[in-house]
Amino acid sequence: MRTVYVNGDYVPETEARVSIFDRGFLMADGVYEVTSILGGKLIDFEGHAVRLQRSLDELEMRSPISKDDLLEVHRELVRVNDIDEGMIYLQITRGAPGDRDFAFPDPETTTPTIVLFTQNKPGLADSPAAKKGMKVISIEDIRWGRRDIKTVQLLYPSMGKMMAKKVGADDAWMIEDGYVTEGTSNNAYIVKGNKIITRALSNDILHGITRAAVLRFAQEAQMEVEERNFTIDEAKEADEAFITSASTFVMPVVEIDGIALGDGMPGRVAPRLREIYLEESLKAAV
Ligand code: PMP
């Protein structure tokens, strides 16, 4: 049985308790992070910790834990659960006032709730899906306007994933005003010639930690990166496409709305970027 962390305590998962008045539960008033573990070490902990703080700041929520202590909790959970490859999920909510109310509770009397748990995923890095590539469909992006804040408000992304599954695809890319924003739980890219094209950062998309690393590695490898909007039609005519996220790293996309890209197999750029990303991130893992 997993050992999880809840509000300062390490407990067996069946004994972890959160109040029914918790604002994460009632209002999706919470933020989260997912950090990957490879070789028993954390990938880009610093990036996730910085983005967590930014999400909290944007929602005027206090952090219940310091960055140093947060790192210790991550490490302890990896250790006690004996995780070699997998993820750590972290969630902080505005806490549990004594009742349901739209107004934020007084932060002096209602402390944030913090929960962390591990997900054991042996073979995460050497995934067969990365060799085959994935299929995506396009759906309308009807999410709220602050997608840069990593909130637990994930119902539409979850529905998008189900729309994809229903038609035999793996995920959905979301479209707003004709342009691709991002995947349901990942950032989206296309490749034209030697150019990697991805939407620029704004409130419209999550500022992916993997995105930042991959774009940096791509530039260091002399690949050309263009941060701009692209349409789904442009994507269907691209040489390659791929996604990035902390749990999938770099994953080739080989089909969009039933249209195969190139020969329908992963191309040159995405698999190479995956290789570089895994290699460099492992070197810097803590
Ligand atoms: N966009 C969305 C909507 C996401 O949910 C995620 C992952 N949670 C990402 C992008 C990728 O971010 P990261 O690389 O930090 O995992």
> What is the per-residue pLDDT across 233-251, written as a single tens digit (0 to 9) for each?
999 999 999 999 999 999 9
Q: What is the pLDDT of residue 229?
A: 98
Global confidence as pTM? 0.97
208 in ligand 1 pocket by Cβ < 6 Å? Answer: yes
Residue nearest to atom 5 of ligand 1 (CA): 185
* Ranges of the chain whose pLDDT falls below 70: none
Q: What pLDDT score does 212 carry?
A: 98
Distance, CA of 275 to CA of 195 (rounded, Å): 18
Beta bridge partners of 119: 87
Please report where in the chains the tokens 């530039």 appear, as a residue: 219
Query: What CATH number has the domain bearing residue 22?
Result: 3.30.470.10
Residues 79 and 142 in one domain: no
Asked if residue 35 has its Cβ within 6 Å of ligand 1, the reply is no
Same domain, 112 and 168: no
How many folded domains does the chain comprise?
2
Q: Which protein residue has the closest C-alpha to ligand 1 atom 10?
A: 186
Helix H or strand E encompassing 157: helix 155-166
Task: Judge if 133 and 149 occupy the same domain.
Answer: yes
- pLDDT in the model for residue 121: 97
> What pLDDT is stored for residue 100 in this prediction?
98
Q: Kindly state whether residues 163 and 103 are assigned to the same domain.
A: no
Domain containing 215 equals: 128-284
Residue 248 Cα to ligand 1 midpoint, Å, equals 10
**CATH, residue 191:** 3.20.10.10
In the block, tokens 């806490």 appear at 95
Is residue 131 annotated as a catalytic residue, yes or no? Answer: no
87 and 228 share a domain? no
pLDDT value of position 248: 98
Distance 148 CA to ligand 1 centre (A): 10
pLDDT the model gives residue 190: 98
Ligand 1 pocket residue status of 252, Cβ below 6 Å: no
Q: Are residues 109 and 217 in the same domain?
A: no
